[in-house]
């Protein structure tokens, strides 16, 4: 069993909590928390269970420091949601997007193509989390450390915002009757720009998943 004193200290620090804040959550004194972390005393089994609940863990994970793999409730929901979005992305990419492109080339109206492409990019954000959710059935994936998770969440959120801003610009351009060449230029349809914008949701989805994925320990 992992040193429970070090485990409690690490969990508290990762959560950004002081000893007093943890004590308030557990309805004990700050000195009691200090004694646990300094190996002067150890919490009883009821208190250990309460500590596990504070950090959204189960008792086994708290004591041994590893998260159980397998089909947990949260993981089943993740796989269902991300899987549905990934299937939607695949169907749009295989069928709807080619049809929209053909329509746009015939009519020089790129509104439909941009809209379908936007939805396709948006749903692609679920592909990487879907794969990670499947992998985590065997061995869960967790980023340790609150600062690193914060960086991942911040970067993922920034990429998501840039993607939405870029596509908002493209969609606004689609409402104007520009000649095709000018439209392609103003609409950002140059290959490098389009590829960069299109890849943002996929990268953003991966970063947000890794940054937010902290606990899947509640079993079915």
User: pLDDT tens string for the chain (220 positions)?
Assistant: 448 998 899 888 877 889 999 999 999 999 999 999 999 999 999 999 999 888 878 787 788 765 555 676 677 888 999 999 999 999 999 999 899 888 888 887 777 888 888 899 999 999 999 998 888 877 767 777 778 888 999 999 999 998 888 777 766 666 665 444 444 544 445 555 667 778 899 999 999 998 887 654 444 3
User: Residue 51 and residue 7: Cα distance in Å, rounded?
Assistant: 11
Q: What is the pLDDT of residue 183?
A: 44
Could you tell me the two tokens for 141?
A: 């994936």
Q: Which of 28, 32, 29 is nearest to 40 (CA)?
A: 32
User: Residue 13 and residue 78: Cα distance in Å, rounded?
Assistant: 27
Is the Cα dihedral 60, 63, 69, 74 positive or negative?
positive
Q: What is the pLDDT of residue 155?
A: 95
Q: What is the pLDDT of residue 61?
A: 76
Q: What is the pLDDT of residue 103?
A: 87
Q: Per residue in 161-189, pLDDT tens? A: 988 887 777 666 666 654 444 445 444 45
> Which class would CATH give 4-64?
mainly alpha
Share of the chain above pLDDT 70, in %: 80
CA distances from 134 to 88, 99, 122, 151 (A): 18, 32, 20, 24
Residue 160: other Cβ atoms inside 10 A: 19
Cβ(99)–Cβ(115) under 8 Å? no
Break the chain into its structural domains and give their ranges.
4-64, 73-212
Cβ(167)–Cβ(197) under 8 Å? yes
Q: What is the pLDDT of residue 174?
A: 63
Map residue 65 onto helix, strand or coil. coil
The overall pTM is greater than 0.95:
no
């Amino acid at each position: 069993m992992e040193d429970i004193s070090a485990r409690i200290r690490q969990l508290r620090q990762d959560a950004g909590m002081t000893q007093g804040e943890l004590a308030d959550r557990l309805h004990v004194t700050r000195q009691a928390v200090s004694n646990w972390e300094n190996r002067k005393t150890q919490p009883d089994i009821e208190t250990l269970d309460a500590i596990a609940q504070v950090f959204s863990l189960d008792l086994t994970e708290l004591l041994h420091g590893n998260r159980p793999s397998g089909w947990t409730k949260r993981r089943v929901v993740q796989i269902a949601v991300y899987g549905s979005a990934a299937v939607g992305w695949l169907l749009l990419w295989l069928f709807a997007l080619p049809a929209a492109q053909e329509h746009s080339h015939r009519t020089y109206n790129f509104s439909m193509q941009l809209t379908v492409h936007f939805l396709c990019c948006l749903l692609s954000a679920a592909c990487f989390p879907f794969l990670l959710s499947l992998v985590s059935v065997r061995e869960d994936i967790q980023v340790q450390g609150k600062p690193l998770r914060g960086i991942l969440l911040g970067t993922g959120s920034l990429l998501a915002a840039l993607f939405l801003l870029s596509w908002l610009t493209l969609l606004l351009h689609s409402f104007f009757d520009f000649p095709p060449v000018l439209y392609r230029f103003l609409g950002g349809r140059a290959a490098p720009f389009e590829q960069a914008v299109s890849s943002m949701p996929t990268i953003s989805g991966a970063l947000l998943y890794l940054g937010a994925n902290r606990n899947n320990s509640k079993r079915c």
